[in-house]
Structure 1
Amino acid sequence: MDGAGERGRFITLEGGEGAGKSTQARRLAAALAAAGLPVLRTREPGGAPGAEAIRALLLGGVTAWDPTAEAMLHFAARREHVLRTLRPALAAGMWVVCDRFADSTLAYQGYGQGLPRAAFDALAALTLEGLVPDLTLILDLPPELGMARVAGRGEAATRYERLGPAFHARIRAGFRAIAAAEPERCVLVDAARPAEAVTAELLALVRARLGAPLP
């Protein structure tokens, strides 16, 4: 939490490609809303007009950036998201469910592409100004299963989805390392199971960790 006083709750869903983050974010937000809580569901890159413009560049392009330049683009989008969407919603007492946040940049550009940790920390300090999720749910599954799910969607692959198996293996290792380093904030969830089982565990975690009035 960012110490700003009375505020809503900030939940992020993280994980590699095909882990089911978008599906689970929708289900979690719907469950919170059904429980009578004010909810905002959002995503990264994106979540604000300027950030959505950068999302199209990051996911749809073919450019291979230097890892630092790529991280700077992600954090530029994140800065817009934080200022325009996240902080106002949290200040208004809303429960925010976000599909990806800063941990994705650490996993993808840090563990995946070699961005130095000091560069990540400097960019995070500059753009986030202390905003940290109350709970991060990391959906974990073998990369080959995730990529098979992606292929089964029948949609055009994003730039990250087109990267090779070694990259996706580093991503998974990165997320697992993040979860191990911050157990008070992060929970590793087995996402190889059916979606309904994953949803049930996520609802139980949000109820236990944050006191949400969920069934």
Structure 2
Amino acid sequence: MTAKFIVIEGLEGAGKSTAIAVCQAYLQHKQVEFINVREPGGTPVAEALRHIVKQAHEEQITGETELLIMYAARSQLVANVIKPAIDKGTWVLGDRHDLSSQAYQGGGRGIEQSKLSFLADMVLKGLKPDLTIYLDIDPAVGLARAKGRGELDRIEQEALGFFERTRERYLALAEHDPSIQTVDANKAMPEVHAAITTVLDTFFESLK
């Protein structure tokens, strides 16, 4: 079977970490060889860029700077980790990918689609997840969960309206892309995990 690229997406507090754990257990049960990656991050350079974009600074980081940092980190990860893994037959399970930039910087920051498309084409060179599981949650609920985990990073400290715009973009993109499967993350955790398993069952069935 050709190696696949699966990504988990969602707002803060949507439960990405536990969703990834469900996916890991599922792939292990299927005896699939895979690696885990996260964005931004995943290589020494990308992790350094993650630190810059996540931490609060005295100097304001513009939306354009944030966007460029995200794609710079993604370029390192795609070229040095994701594509080499897929080329050698290893699946990749990702915590965020390009859809995050489309939603956060495109929707939340309001950056023009033409700029996003230019950077995506340059960095991804046609790479696209085979399956994206988008965990949809009410932004207010998600932020309350995130605050319960501890101190918020620079992006998590944005106003509620930012996350509402981000969610709207996520939903709009998911509606027009069959490779993006939406899971209601407002429900109880066992229900969310069952829904994720159903998505994975359907995906694997389609590979036969």
TM range (shorter): over 0.9
1:178 counterpart = 2:173: yes
SS state at 1:167 partner? helix
1:205 counterpart = 2:183: no
* 1:68 CA drift (Å): 2.0
Structure 1 gaps, min length 5: 1-5
Partner Cα separation in structure 2 for residue 64 and residue 100 of structure 1: 24
* 1:56 CA drift (Å): 0.7
1:196 counterpart = 2:190: yes
* 1:177 CA drift (Å): 0.8
Paired residue for 1:64? 60
Paired residue for 1:129? 125
Partner Cα separation in structure 2 for residue 97 and residue 212 of structure 1: 18
- Contact in 2 for aligned 1:68/1:119 (Cα 8 Å): no
Partner Cα separation in structure 1 for residue 83 and residue 56 of structure 2: 29
- Contact in 1 for aligned 2:6/2:132 (Cα 8 Å): yes
Cα deviation 1:1-56 (Å, max 9, x = unaligned): xxxxx741101111111101122112211221132110211110011111111111
Partner Cα separation in structure 2 for residue 208 and residue 81 of structure 1: 28
* 1:212 CA drift (Å): 8.5
Distance change (3 Å), C-alpha of 1:30 and 1:212: farther
1:73 counterpart = 2:88: no
Paired residue for 1:43? 38
Runs of 4+ aligned residues of structure 1 deviating over 4 Å after TM superposition are none
SS state at 2:186 partner? coil
Partner Cα separation in structure 2 for residue 17 and residue 88 of structure 1: 29
Q: Which residue among 154, 160, 166 is the counterpart of 1:165?
A: 160
* 1:66 CA drift (Å): 2.4
Identity %: 34
In the alignment of these two chains, the number of paired residues is: 206
Q: Which residue among 1, 14, 25 is the counterpart of 1:30?
A: 25
1:116 counterpart = 2:112: yes
RMSD over aligned Cα atoms: 1.6
Residue 111 of structure 1 aligns with an amino acid whose one-letter code is: G
Partner Cα separation in structure 2 for residue 53 and residue 203 of structure 1: 34
Partner Cα separation in structure 2 for residue 53 and residue 210 of structure 1: 35
